[in-house]
Structure 1
Amino acid sequence: MAVLTCPSFVALFTCLWILVQTEDQQQITVKTGDDVTLQCLDHRGGDIELLLWLRQDPKEDIFVWKHGKMFENPQHPSFKNRVELRDPEMKDGNVSVILRNSSINDIGTYECRVKNSNKTTPPQLITTITLTVTDSGPEAGRSEGGGDKDGRNKDVALLMCLSVVVAVVVAVGFLIYRKRKRLSEQSFYNLPVVETSELQLL
């Protein structure tokens, strides 16, 4: 079948890779003083036992939630009273947090790690977010959003994905058409030749 050809498989694999990369690695730009939502969705199911939000370089705990409550001890002092769950009930695996009153000092790479009650493995990395904070500029995100730019990136990736799939389907369909046409022509030219003398004239 056409959908199982090598070009189709490669295109679909590339498409899925683009979508996964876009989903798991986000880039957010906000202005100083804005509230920014660090989005993280865990679709694996099961009760959430442990939620960790970390910042890399320097490595700091910005939010730790375990067994139904937040722990302030491991939280870095610069994030105290500035980070909270977007949805305290974490419905549908929504473990996003809101970072209040962002500043230049908040620039960095953030990781969302989750451990479910039905998993024995360590907390799994769900989302990586690169946060940029600027003093001003039209490209900065708005409060509570912080994901407008990332949303546009997802839309672009989806359009690219659909374009690749459509192009592959059209190309495969054209090749199949050409092949069938060639076989039809070959079968026509391979018809047995009938001599005129053998024709019966009415």
Structure 2
Amino acid sequence: MQQQIKILSALMVTFLLLLFPLCAAASDQHVTVHPGDDVTLRCEAGDVSISAVEWTRADLEPQYVLFYRDGRLERKQQHPSFKGRVELEDRELKDGDVSLTLKNVTSSDSGRYECRVAAGGSRRTKRANIDADPIRVIYLEVTDSEDGNFPHGHVGLAAGGVAVLLVAAAVSVAVWRYRRRTDQRSEQSAADEAGNHQLMCTSAV
């Protein structure tokens, strides 16, 4: 019985180790659009008081796609290519919605976008002062190809789900086979014991 528990524990640990990176990857999003389109990059901070919102791209200098503080956009720190083309979908930040709308996209807009927020009454202006990981990472791809309409994010999530199901199935099959072998050994032991008992009875007669 203890051996069975150890095997089940090892299988479940393996399953969880495989599941964790899939769940982590699912938190990122891949969005594909065509040149000239408008796109909204979704990000929600939850039910918190928000003093500032940052959208950044680490490959740019300055990195700011959008910086919003105290009810207005801070344009001095914004990268020139985004001026006049980006805005928050809801400036009132209702329900923690800090989604970014990017207008008239071009191929140069392709990249990794990170969303951060500063909670509370903070009035700090530099991204380094928001000591937090991004709450959403979005990979934006701007392409002329018709294949660009293919929903990469959904495919990745579906593939992750299939992988999880396959692992779960493999664990179930392994457990079933182990139990079957255990039952067969038990039945064989019982049969051998019955045979020995019958032989002893025959010898006694």
- With normalisation by structure 1, the TM-score equals 0.78
User: How far apart, in 2, do the equivalents of 1:82 and 1:21 lie?
Assistant: 29
Larger proportion of strand:
1
User: How far apart, in 2, do the equivalents of 1:91 and 1:173 lie?
Assistant: 51
1:35 maps onto 2:44 in alignment? no
Runs of 4+ in structure 1 over 4 Å off:
1-4, 118-121
Cα 1:42–1:198 shift into 2, 3 Å = farther
Which of 65, 78, 82 is equivalent to 1:79?
A: 82
Larger proportion of helix:
2
Which of 153, 160, 164 is equivalent to 1:150?
A: 153
Which of 92, 103, 114 is equivalent to 2:117?
A: 114
Cα 1:197–1:5 shift into 2, 3 Å = same
Q: Answer whether contact 1:51 1:66 (CA < 8 A) is retained.
A: yes
User: How far apart, in 1, do the equivalents of 2:19 and 2:94 lie?
Assistant: 29
Report the count of equivalent residues. Answer: 191
Which of 141, 149, 159 is equivalent to 1:132?
A: 141
1:19 maps onto 2:23 in alignment? yes
RMSD, aligned α-carbons? 3.0
Identity of aligned residues (%): 31
- Deviation string 1:109-150 (CA, Å, 9 cap, x unpaired) is 22112233399961322222232222x211224xxxxx9321
- 1:47 maps to 49
Q: Answer whether contact 1:56 1:108 (CA < 8 A) is retained.
A: no
User: How far apart, in 2, do the equivalents of 1:66 and 1:23 lie?
Assistant: 26
- With normalisation by structure 2, the TM-score equals 0.77
Which of 177, 183, 195 is equivalent to 2:201?
A: 195
- 1:177 maps to 180
